[in-house]
Amino acid sequence: MNTIKNHIGINIFSKAILMMVLLYSFMTVSARNLKVESPNGKISVQVFNENNTENAKWFLKVNYFNDGKMAETISSIDLGLILSDGISFTDMKLLKSSKPLLIKENYTMPHGKSLQRHNTGNEVVFTFENKEKKKLDVIIRVYNDGMAFRYSLSGKGNFTVQDELTSYSINQETTRWAEKWNPANEGLYSSMVGEKIQQEEWCYPTLFQTKDNNCWFLLHESAVDGSYCGSKLSNKEDKNKYKITFPDPKDGRGKGESLPKISLPWKSPWRVIIIGNLNDIVASTLVDDVAPPSVIKNTDWIKPGAVSWNYWSSNHGTKDFKTVCEFADLAVAMDWPYTLLDWEWDSMGNGGNLEDALKYIHSKGIKPLMWYNSGGEHTWVSSTPKDRMLTHENRVEEFTKLKKLGVAGVKVDFFESEKQDMIQYYLDILEDAAQFEMMVYFHGCLVPRGWAKTYPNLMTYEAVRGAEWYNNGPEFTATAPVHNTILPFTRNVVGSMDYTPVTFTNSQFPHLTSYGHELALSVVFESALQHFADRPEGYYELPDEPKKFMREVPTSWDETQLLQGFPGKDVVMARRKNNVWYVGGINGENIEKNINIKFDFLDKHNKYKLRLIKDGKHDKQLVTDDSVIESADSVDVKVLRRGGFAAVIFSIIN
C-alpha cells in the first residue's frame, strides 16, 4: 500500500516538475524581448499573443518613432494559415526566435525612381508549432523605410491554402486612401476616415495616415510568384480590419483556381508595409528591395525612353499606315527613341502594311514596340493579334519573328485575373522575352509586385486609371485633377506606371487640367517607357521651351524626392538624372495657389540655373522664367486651379 502511495506521489511530483519546466520554458520565450527594430531605431515590430498562454493566436504590432514621438502604426497584424488536410496554423506555440541578422544590400536597376539601390534591415525568424506539431516560420524584416514579413514551411508535401489569416487592424481615426477592387486596377481612390469608412474589397497599394499625422504607411505585397496567387485587401467583415483575400473565382471568366496550391518547402510572398513621412513613402524602393535579384546578367539592351502613341487621339490609329508614319515622325521630331504599334497592326491599311510600317520606322532611326492581346479563355476581349503570347511555343515563334523585324519590346494586354496560374503566365512571358532580349510591359494587369528587379526587362505596367479614361466617358474630366495628386503617394510608389500622360489637346472628353499641370506629369509620374499620348500637333504647337523640355525629360532617374504635397491637394516632385534636376508640380484643387519651392536638396557649394515653365494667365498658356539660384533660396510659383509647373535645374560651371 505504501509502495502504491509512493508511486502516486512520484507521478504527481514528476508531473508538477514537468509542468514547471514547460511553464518556465514558455515564460523564457515570452520574457524575451520579442521585438525587431530597424537599424535606425525608428520602426519596431513586436510579436505577441493576447492570452499569454502556451498555445495561442499570435500577432504583430508595428510602432513608429519620430522626433521623440511614438505612433502606433498598426495595433495588430493577425498571423496564420489554414491548409488542406485539416492543417491549421492558428493556435500555435512559439518555439524559438533566431538571432537578428543584418540585411544589407546594394544593387543597380536600369530604370525606376532610383538606379543605385541601397537598403539595410534586421531580420529575425520566429518558429511556431501548431497542435499537430507542424512548424511554421514567420520571417520578419524591419528596414529603415518599413517592414516586411512572410511565412515559410519546410518539409515535403502538396497542399491547398484554404485561407491566409493575415489581417491588419487599423484604428478608425486613421485616414485611408483606397481603390475599390477591380481586376484591371483602374479605379479611383477614395479618402475615408471614421464613420465614412466603406466596407469593400480593395486594390493594392493602400495608403494610411495616423490620427496624430506623425506617421504614414502603405500596405502592399512583393515577390509574388507562381507558387502563390496575387491577393487583395478586404474589410467587409470588420471595417477596421483589412484581411488578405484571394482572387474571386469569377475573375478571368472563371478560369483557373482561386485558392493557391503549394509544394513544400515553400515561402509566401512578402507582406510589405512602407512606413515614415510622405517623402519616405514616395522615395521607398522596399517593394523591389525584398524581391529576388535579377536573373538577367547583361542588361545593356534594356533601354528606357519616351514613346509616341497613337491610340489616345485615334482609337484605331495603328490600323492606318499613314497615322503610324505620322507618329513615327513625331518620335523623330521629339528625339524619342520609340513608337508603339497598338492593337490592329495585323489589319493595317491605307497605303501600307506592318512590314511597310516597320521599314519606315527603322528608316527614321527609331525602334518599334508592338501590342498583343494576352489571349486565352481568361479574357472576353477578342482584339487581335490574340493567343500569340499564350504558350511557350507561341512566344518563341513570335519573339523569333519580332527579333528579325527589329522590334524592341511588346505590350501585352487584358489579363483580368491574379489567380496563381495567371501569375505564372506573367512570369513565363518575362522569362521567354528575356531570352530574346525583348522588353515587356503589361496592360489590363496587376500592380507591380517587385518583378522589375528580378526581370528588369519589365519596363512598366498600366494598372492605373490613366489618360485613356478621357476616352471612356465624361467622368475623368472632373476627377483627373485630384486623382493625379493621389497617384504619386499610392500606385506610383510601388513601381512604374503607364498613365500615358502629357496631353494638351482633347480627345473624346476634355481636360480641366492646365497645360502647366500636363507638362508636369512627365516628372510627377514615373514610367521607364513613358508613352506621351497626345497627337503630333499637341507637341509641335508648344512654345520652344516646353517643347525642348519634352524632348529632354528623362524616363528613368538616379534619385527621387518629394518636395511637398498631400494626396488630393497638390504634389511637387524632384527627380535627378546625372547632375540635372527636374521638378514637376501639380495642383489638384479648384483654387489658385502660390507654391513655395525650397532648394535645400541642392549642393550648397554650387550655383544653379533654374528654368521654370509655369501656368500663364489661362489654362492653355505657358510662361518660362530663367533665374540663378542657390540651395538656400526659394521661389514662389503661382499655379492656376488644377494647374502646375515644370522646371529644370542644372549647375552653373564657373
Distance CA 625, CA 545 (A): 10
Residue with the three cell numbers 515553400: 266
Model confidence at 6: pLDDT above 70: no
Cell for 488?
504619386
Residue 653 confidence (pLDDT): 74
Bond into 205 cis (ω within 30): yes
Residue 372 confidence (pLDDT): 98
Neighbours of 572 (CB within 10 A): 27
Residue 33 confidence (pLDDT): 59
Neighbours of 173 (CB within 10 A): 11
Cell for 345?
497592326
**In the β-sheet with 608-615, what is the strand arrangement from edge to edge?**
559-566, 570-577, 580-587, 644-651, 608-615, 622-629
**Angle, vertex CA 544, rays to CA 368 and CA 470, nearest 5:** 55
Distance CA 339, CA 327 (A): 7
Confidence at 654, pLDDT banded by 50, 70, 90: low
Residue 214 confidence (pLDDT): 83
**451-459 mean pLDDT:** 98
Residue 618 confidence (pLDDT): 98
Distance CA 451, CA 458 (A): 7
Model confidence at 5: pLDDT above 70: no
Note whether 23 and 16 are within 8 A (CB).
no
Question: What are the distances in angstroms from CA 316 to CA 87, 308, 506, 640?
Answer: 53, 15, 16, 34
Of 10-14, 331-335, 645-649, which gets the smallest average pLDDT? 10-14
Model confidence at 402: pLDDT above 80: yes
Model confidence at 120: pLDDT above 50: yes
Dump pLDDT digits (tens) for 534-587: 999 999 999 999 999 999 999 999 999 999 999 999 999 999 999 999 999 999
Q: Which of 381, 380, 398 is nearest to 389 (CA)?
A: 398
Q: Which residues pair with 77 in a beta bridge?
A: 60, 168
Residue 602 confidence (pLDDT): 97
**136-164 mean pLDDT:** 98
- The overall longest dimension of the chain from CA atoms, in Å, is 111
Q: Which residues pair with 190 in a beta bridge?
A: 178
Question: What are the distances in angstroms from CA 620 to CA 471, 485, 517, 543, 626?
Answer: 20, 20, 10, 11, 20
Residue 53 confidence (pLDDT): 75
Residue 68 confidence (pLDDT): 85
Model confidence at 1: pLDDT above 70: no
Model confidence at 10: pLDDT above 80: no
Residue 23 confidence (pLDDT): 38
pTM over 0.75: yes
Residue 315 confidence (pLDDT): 85
Residue 601 confidence (pLDDT): 97
Q: Which residues pair with 159 in a beta bridge?
A: 262
Residue 55 confidence (pLDDT): 86
Distance CA 96, CA 89 (A): 16
Model confidence at 135: pLDDT above 90: yes
Confidence at 16, pLDDT banded by 50, 70, 90: very low
Confidence at 354, pLDDT banded by 50, 70, 90: very high
Question: What is the H or E stretch that residue 610 is in?
Answer: strand 608-615
Model confidence at 20: pLDDT above 90: no
Provide CB contacts within 8 A for 48, sequence distance 6+: 34, 58, 59, 61
Residue with the three cell numbers 474630366: 477
Note whether 417 and 252 are within 8 A (CB).
yes
Provide CB contacts within 8 A for 537, sequence distance 6+: 505
Dump pLDDT digits (tens) for 199-225: 999 999 999 999 988 899 999 999 999
Instruction: Give, as one character, the DSSP assignment of residue 11.
Output: H
Neighbours of 484 (CB within 10 A): 28
The runs of H, that is alpha helices, within 284-419 are 286-289, 321-333, 354-363, 392-405
Between residues 69 and 171, the one the model is more confident about: 171
Confidence at 14, pLDDT banded by 50, 70, 90: very low
Write down the mean pLDDT value for the chain: 94
Provide CB contacts within 8 A for 454, sequence distance 6+: 291, 292, 293, 294, 295
Neighbours of 253 (CB within 10 A): 13
Residue 67 confidence (pLDDT): 84
Distance CA 308, CA 339 (A): 5
**Angle, vertex CA 56, rays to CA 53 and CA 60, nearest 5:** 105
Cell for 445?
494587369
Taking only Cα atoms into account, the Rg of the chain, rounded to an integer number of angstroms, comes to 27
Model confidence at 59: pLDDT above 60: yes
Distance CA 552, CA 545 (A): 11
Residue 4 confidence (pLDDT): 43
Dump pLDDT digits (tens) for 63-79: 999 888 888 999 999 99
